[in-house]
Amino acid sequence: MDKLRIGLVSVSDRASSGVYEDKGIPALAAWLEEALITPFCLEQRLIPDEQPLIEQALCELVDEAGCHLVLTTGGTGPARRDVTPDATLAVADRLMPGFGEQMRQISLHFVPTAILSRQVGVIRKQALILNLPGQPKSIKETLEGLKDPQGKVIVSGIFASVPYCIQLLDGPYIETDSQLVAAFRPKSAIRDTKI
């Protein structure tokens, strides 16, 4: 089985031109290090809010680097320069609407402006591409979901469904730290990897 490959794309005019330090990719990389038990390698891109450049990065990560999962951060609002979802849809083979719906559902628990988010989830070839928020705190909330003070899940984070989706796309079997985010699969799809 080939190694899990994950692409991270931070979309920001100012961070890509060095006006300020990008916080999206470090936040995503740190979260994945904590959440995944399965070994993985990362491909990273920091690019401005330009639709052709975003499309090019997504195509490169999926078609050439062979990523199984691509996570974007930034550029998902209604502002004129926010074109990450448009670029994502332009390179998609199939739409996965549940991911966008769930991301907005989670964010609505924190801010009413979550309805302004245009985040999408799509499939291109063998890869799942997900648009995440730009803020590190929101990235974590979206991936992990909401838990009560005792740690019981109130609203599932989107990452709970990612391992099974990758499995259905004939990608690697992904295991997570269940304390952080428990991967959900039907019983028939669970493998005993400890053998």
What's CA 59's distance to the chain center, in Å?
A: 16
Both tokens of 7, joined, read 């692409």
Structure-token match 């709970």, residue found: 160
Single-letter residue type at 97: P
Length of the chain: 195
154-187 residues labelled b (16+ CB within 10 A) or e (exposed) = eebbbbbbbbbbbbeeebbbbebeeeebbbebee
- pLDDT tens digits, residue range 133-182? 989 999 999 999 988 888 888 888 999 999 999 999 999 999 999 988 99
The whole-model pTM stands at: 0.94
- The architecture (CATH level 2) of 4-189 comes to 3-Layer(aba) Sandwich (3.40)
73 contacts: CB under 8 Å, gap ≥ 6: 8, 9, 10, 11, 24, 25, 27, 28, 132, 133, 134, 139
- Specify whether the CB–CB gap between 65 and 7 falls below 8 A: yes
Single-letter residue type at 159: F
Q: How many CA atoms lie within 13 A of 145 on its CB side?
A: 23
Domain boundaries, the chain: 4-189
- pLDDT tens digits, residue range 31-90? 999 999 999 999 999 999 999 999 999 999 999 999 999 999 999 999 999 999 999 999
Both tokens of 168, joined, read 């259905």
What confidence tier does 194 reach under pLDDT thresholds 50, 70, 90?
Answer: low
